[in-house]
Amino acid sequence: MPPSLDDLLHDRYGPAAPSLTGEAHALLASQLQHRSVRAFTAQPLPPDALPLMLAAAQSASTTSNLQVWSVVTVDDPSVRERLFELSGKQRHVRECPLYLVFLADLARLDAIGAERELRREGLDYLEMLLAAVIDAALAAQNAVVAAEAMGLGVNYIGAMRNQPEAVAEVLGLPPRAFAVFGLCVGYPDPAQPAHVKPRLPQAAVLHRNRYDATAHREPVATYTQAMADFYRRENMRTNGDWAQHSLNRVRGPEALLGRDRIRHALAALGFPAL
């Protein structure tokens, strides 16, 4: 029997779960059961998995229909190994059946403009980089929803931003293209199951009409306890409770794992407005 909507919401929010009624249809159930998978079986993906994921990705909203994103699929073992090194040696980058790198891509529009001798100075502005990053994120999340609907597991790899110039060199990226993140895809290994991670109560993220700078206080206290239980169940080593652990991640430039220099990296990759 498939899980009920109440069960799925409880898995995500614990005691802070909203009280809702209705059916957890297949797509909603898939979304509510999302978890980061770090162990995959060797089972190959169905031949239509990537085309369907790409179709879903291209069905996402895009700024002014500019479609300023691209994706690189990496199946060359030597390229995969280099990206494994650049990701901080996250083994799932090496082991997943399918590894994708999503790009903020202004290079294609730049090339079209050059070919047609059309003006394109607007590509130099921060707005266009933001549009490309947003487009890439929306496309990737659509691809993730499609993958999970097919019974696959995924894991985003933000470490592609640790050394952006090196990633660009490995992938042969032209100027004005930037790797926003990687994505591991495959069948989850049942011997090493991933679990649904609690999220902040909705009251911490939902504001009505105007932002409430104190709205987080009570929900975060509840969430901190829920995460303490999760850390304990998963035998996770953390830097204190959720708040301490999260703030340790932003304590200073040394905690950003190389991403503190991302402005300089982007300028070197052809985004001059930065």
- Amino acid 3: pLDDT: 79
> Reduced to 3 states, what is the DSSP secondary structure of residue 96?
coil
Query: Are 141 and 60 contacting, i.e. CB atoms less than 8 angstroms apart?
Result: yes
Instruction: Give the alpha-carbon dihedral of 173, 175, 177, 178, to 10 degrees.
Output: 90
3-class SS at 93?
Answer: helix
Q: What's the pLDDT score for residue 122?
A: 97
CA 139, CA 118: separation in Å to the nearest integer?
27
Domains of the chain: residue spans and CATH: 36-194 (3.40.109.10)
Instruction: Provide the 3-class DSSP secondary structure of residue 172.
Output: coil
What is the predicted pLDDT for the residue at 21?
A: 67
Ramachandran area for residue 197 (φ above 0: left; ψ -120 to 50: alpha; else beta): beta
**Model-level pTM?**
0.95
**3-state SS assignment for residue 181:** strand
Tally the C-alpha atoms within 13 A of residue 190's C-alpha that lie toward its C-beta. Answer: 2
Question: Can you tell me whether residue 70 is helix, strand or coil?
Answer: strand
Task: Split the chain (274 residues) into runs of 10 and give each run's mean pLDDT.
Answer: 83 88 78 95 96 98 98 98 98 98 98 98 97 98 97 98 98 98 98 95 97 96 94 90 95 96 96 80
